Amino acid sequence: MKIEQIYTGCLAQGAYYIHSNGEAAIIDPLREIQPYLDRLKKDDVQLKYIFETHFHADFVSGHLDLAKATGAKIVYGPNAVPGFECVVAKDNEVFVIGNIQIVALHTPGHTMESTTYLLRDEQQKDHAIFSGDTLFLGDVGRPDLAQKAANMTQEELAGCLYDSLNSKILPLADDVIVYPAHGAGSACGKNMMKETVDTLGNQKKMNYALNQPSKEAFIAAVLDGLTPPPAYFGMNVAMNKNGYTSFDTVRNNGLRALDVAAFEVAAEETGALILDTRNSDEFAKGFIPGSINIGVVGDFAPWVGAMVGDVNQPILLVVDAGKEEEVVTRLARVGFDHQLGFLSGGFQSWVSEGKNIETIHRISPEKFAEQWNDKSVVIDVRKETEYAAEHVDEAYNKPLAIINEWTKDINPDQHFFLHCAGGYRSMIAASILASRGYRNFSEVAQGFKGISSTSVPKSNFVCQSKIMK
């Protein structure tokens, strides 16, 4: 028996590849399936099952393409009603892979079809659980995403989750290994550990959600502090449930190289968003008017999902040479299938054609310290928790995730400073503001990390009038 966790850091997502005696199973695969096909070929095993823990909201799974390529059966848990052929497992149904077994444990709460898969080894001993978004390390899945589909309140879903954990998971032995679908950084939870594998015994000891004194306390604890889910989540659920365009088709469309003239025509005729994925320093020096900067480094795809929202939005790409396939793939993972191509020769080709460009006024932390005074308007686009820990004295907290709610409150005639933690998020905000006609601001390079070493006064006192949650 072999178990491999295939962890994708930018999505904080874990897929799992398991094989025994010539047969294999894959749990919660990503959109691009070639890495799985390569593993199957290398190990000379046949893929028998593709197990899905639930209809994912934060990424598009590769289950349909993978089933088509291998003939494997797709398995969902009870209550699942997909728009394609699959096995809808019964609670406690057993699936055999070589010399091992996988048992479907129905664990509703995150969603009503959520299922944890229990792996029993060659000796029929409980070895591991693949817990999806039911149980994370340090947390549990948020119970507010499936309210409309389930016709239930988030409190009712949280109650289901409590019952699932206590009846199906906590009775398992302490030495059972926990393999979750996500880790720290995912929007599917709020308190996840940086580790990606643990024992159930350790989770019983340290996971706050598993140590609540009552069902009522559990419901209150897991619902406390939840931020609104990104807009694209519901669209990803629909794609996973009803089907989607083949990844190969999306990839081929996104990898069309367009010269400047064709790029301009495509932008004008389709109303496409121009997405510039270069680093923030390069973007600040010059960019195509109206384009939005979300650098391919870091949490690129989730931020595109959060900022763009509508996965049906046509997109044209500006990328660094050699990064085209990475960008196209990462966008497809979160359902952005309407990619029209990329600017051949990158931004430099635009400049060489003598086309108009714009810039962002980016300043150093030291220059910020020189220009700041007690009448300065400072907008901090970090999360509320980051702001509460420490911030520039009298700064306003306006998180990037809800930028559409606060841009209308900005006085375009009044200069302001803009920063985040390190410069990534504030440049996203700066590009959005510039695309909407705001020019009277300075964005601070290196963000609060750089500002913290200057003499600008800081505070951890939180004035509620300065916060927009």
The CATH number of the structural domain formed by 362-466 is: 3.40.250.10
* Cα–Cα nearest to 305, from 336, 273, 275, 279: 336
CB 300 within 8 A of CB 10: yes
pLDDT of the residue at 469: 57
Q: How far apart are CA 179 and CA 369, in angstroms?
A: 47
Prediction pTM value = 0.93
- Report residue 89's pLDDT band, with 50, 70 and 90 as the boundaries: very high
Average pLDDT, integer, range 403-427: 95
State the average pLDDT for the chain.
96
pLDDT of the residue at 354: 97
- Report residue 231's pLDDT band, with 50, 70 and 90 as the boundaries: confident
Is residue 357 scored above 60 in pLDDT?
Answer: yes
The full 3-state SS of the chain, as one line of letters, equals: CEEEEEEECCCCEEEEEEEECCEEEEECCCCCCHHHHHHHHHHCCEEEEEECCCCCCCCCCCHHHHHHHHCCEEEECCCCCCCCCCEECCCCCEEEECCEEEEEEECCCCCCCCEEEEEECCCCCEEEEEEECCECCCCECCCCCCHHHHCCCHHHHHHHHHHHHHHHHCCCCCCCEEEECECCCCCCCCCCCCCCCEEHHHHHHHCHHHHCCCHHHHHHHHHCCCCCCCCCHHHHHHHHHHCCCCHHHHHHHHCCEECHHHHHHHHHHHCCEEEECCCHHHHHHCECCCCEECCCCCCHHHHHHHHHCCCCCCEEEECCCCCHHHHHHHHHHCCCCCEEEEECCHHHHHHHCCCCCECCCEECHHHHHHHCCCCCCEEECCCHHHHHHCEECCCEECCHHHHHHHHHHCCCCCCEEEECCCCHHHHHHHHHHHHCCCCCEEEECCHHHHHCCCCCCEECCCCHHHECC
Question: Hey, do 245-352 and 362-466 end up sharing a CATH topology, with the first three levels equal?
Answer: yes
Residue 248 CB neighbour total at 10 angstroms: 12
Residue 125 CB neighbour total at 10 angstroms: 11
Residue 366 CB neighbour total at 10 angstroms: 15
- Report residue 109's pLDDT band, with 50, 70 and 90 as the boundaries: very high
pLDDT in tens, 431-451: 999 999 999 999 999 999 999
Chain centroid to CA 422 = 19
Is residue 127 scored above 70 in pLDDT?
Answer: yes
pLDDT in tens, 171-207: 999 999 999 999 998 888 888 999 999 999 999 999 9
Fold of 2-234: Metallo-beta-lactamase; Chain A (3.60.15)
Q: How far apart are CA 123 and CA 116, in angstroms?
A: 20
Is residue 364 scored above 90 in pLDDT?
Answer: yes
- Report residue 150's pLDDT band, with 50, 70 and 90 as the boundaries: confident
pLDDT in tens, 39-69: 999 999 999 999 999 999 999 999 999 999 9
What letter represents residue 56's amino acid?
H
Average pLDDT, integer, range 234-239: 96
Q: Order of strands across the sheet with 13-20?
A: 2-8, 13-20, 23-27, 46-51, 73-76, 87-88
pLDDT of the residue at 233: 94
User: Please, what's the largest Cα pairwise distance for the chain?
Assistant: 73
For the chain, the structural domain boundaries read 2-234, 245-352, 362-466
pLDDT of the residue at 468: 67
- Report residue 463's pLDDT band, with 50, 70 and 90 as the boundaries: confident
Residue 461 CB neighbour total at 10 angstroms: 10
* Cα–Cα nearest to 32, from 343, 327, 305, 342: 327
Is residue 464 scored above 80 in pLDDT?
Answer: no
Q: How far apart are CA 287 and CA 280, in angstroms?
A: 11
pLDDT in tens, 1-46: 999 999 999 899 999 999 999 999 999 999 999 999 999 999 999 9
Q: How far apart are CA 37 and CA 72, in angstroms?
A: 12
- Report residue 430's pLDDT band, with 50, 70 and 90 as the boundaries: very high
The CATH number of the structural domain formed by 245-352 is: 3.40.250.10
